[in-house]
Amino acid sequence: AQTVTQSQPEMSVQEAETVTLSCTYDTSESDYYLFWYKQPPSRQMILVIRQEAYKQQNATENRFSVNFQKAAKSFSLKISDSQLGDAAMYFCAYRSLYNTDKLIFGTGTRLQVFP
């Protein structure tokens, strides 16, 4: 069974600085999808960025980018030019290409942004 691990329960960053959130996963599959979701205090789960495992190029969405290391089964999220509105819980998630129904989440990382 696949698992997703986020080893950083909490992280903090100063406004305008860069922060990287870590995520590792375990799978025997070769094709899959990876996601980062943001959950602000409003508790709405918001999709931040996605990565298809068959793509070597790292996904980028404005200030958010990932470092996808397939061999190491690592999928970190980099937030550049951090803003106060980035403060939230961030969840890494895995979705199989073959059994595409379930989204498996990590335990989350709480990000604080200081002015």
Partner 1 sequence: DAGVIQSPRHEVTEMGQEVTLRCKPISGHDYLFWYRQTMMRGLELLIYFNNNVPIDDSGMPEDRFSAKMPNASFSTLKIQPSEPRDSAVYFCASSLTSTGVDGYTFGSGTRLTVV
Residues of the shown chain interacting with partner 1 in the complex, contacts defined by CB under 8 A: 32-33, 35, 37, 42-47, 50, 52, 91, 93, 95-97, 100-103, 105-108
Instruction: Assign 3-class secondary structure to the chain.
Output: CCEEECCCCEEEEECCCCEEECCEEECCCCCEEEEEEEECCCCCCEEEEEEECCCCCCCEECCEEEEEECCCCEEEEEECCCCHHHCEEEEEEEEECCCCCCEEECCCEEEEEEC
Output 79 or 93, the one with its CB closest to partner 1.
Answer: 93
- Smallest distance, partner 1 to C-beta of residue 45, A: 4
Output 37 or 82, the one with its CB closest to partner 1.
Answer: 37
- Smallest distance, partner 1 to C-beta of residue 74, A: 19
- Smallest distance, partner 1 to C-beta of residue 14, A: 27
Output 89 or 113, the one with its CB closest to partner 1.
Answer: 89
